[in-house]
Amino acid sequence: MICEVNEMGKEYTKFIAAAVQTAPVFLNKEETIGKACSLIEEARDNGADLIVFPEAFIPTYPYWPKDLGTGPERKLILDAYTELYKNSVEIPSEDTDKLREAAKKAGAYVIIGMNERDGGTLYNTILFIGKNGTILGKHRKLMSIDSEKCIWGMGDGSDLRVFDTELGRVGGFFCYEHHMTLAKYAMFAEGEQIHAGLWAGHGFVKPTMDFASRQYAFEGQVFVIAASLYINEDMVPNSFPLKKYTKWDFPGGSGIINPRGEYLAGPLYDKEGILYSEIDMDIIIRAKAVIDAMGHFSRPDILSLNINKEKYSLIKIKGSGVEASSNEHGEIKKEMKELRERYERLEAKIEELIKGSTTGYKRIRR
């Protein structure tokens, strides 16, 4: 990363972004994480300050069909889901520790897609890791499309987040989230400057990925680092029972796009690789001189957006005129218990002092 001073005496940032187009080690969490760590090292060796991986990279995107009827093939569907679940990632965990350590060693920001396991449900999740190895946060896909709904739960308003970094304000979406108009506007309203677009690389989505990524960059005056999976039939073990039921057409389409909607690198198709480009944050200023979606080119007096940022909870506790989520209720009970214990310790101390006194004070009772 380079901080320079322009002719007006103002600092601005230049850095190198990397879009990783790669294939998972199919349905193998440990080896895919190992591959991710190696790619982080490779990208950093080539100067990358920000490294973006594709959608559901760990341990794979569920490319296979989700419904083969109620016959014997039904078992194959459940077997595939079971393997996906067992190879998914809990956040935080020893799995994320490996990724954090790799980011810290590289001194680079890492954004990576994974299947997240939380209880009995899987989520399509983006994990954001700081260059010092800390987890900045995560984004769960707000709305799965088509048969994805058979695999993943949905995120909530708390997943509409932009993270402050020394590179700029960073956020991310998955594939068709880029068509959720109000969600895009919410990210722009958060001041997003650098957007990670994570894709699965479907062949039929090639034109969509191209125009959606360029439109997002132009509409929000942001840089887009689009990272896609690439996988072919030879990369899938023959032991995978749904291999023959799947059309393996996933050519990718990664690219790095400036706030004018122009490619700085890519698009890349039909192979694995890492794309690099210098990101000059001054270009955002120039783009916003023409269109500022959240400023002079908006009409908040006519059009506005309501956002519910509340984290979704299955349980709500109501009573005494107070409503709290199950998490909040648990915190309140914990604090009350700690206060009670402190009170009892204080009372015991006072009684001890009274017993040792010769002044004859009356015992203090509750």
DSSP 261: S
Q: Hey, is 188 helix, strand or coil?
A: helix
Catalytic residue, candidates 29, 35, 37, 55:
55
Active-site residue, 35 included: no
138 φ, ψ (degrees, to nearest 5)? -145, 165
First-to-final CA distance of the chain: 63
Catalytic residue, candidates 29, 138, 141, 184:
141
DSSP 49: S
Q: Between the CA atoms of 167, 168, 173 and 175, what dihedral angle is there, to the nearest 10 degrees?
A: -60
CB 155 within 8 A of CB 174: no
Distance CA 38, CA 220 (A): 33
Catalytic residue, candidates 29, 116, 148, 175:
175
Active-site residue, 318 included: no
Give the residue ranges of DSSP H helices in the chain: 29-45, 73-86, 94-106, 181-189, 206-220, 282-290, 326-355
Active-site residue, 4 included: no
Which residues are catalytically annotated?
A: 55, 141, 175
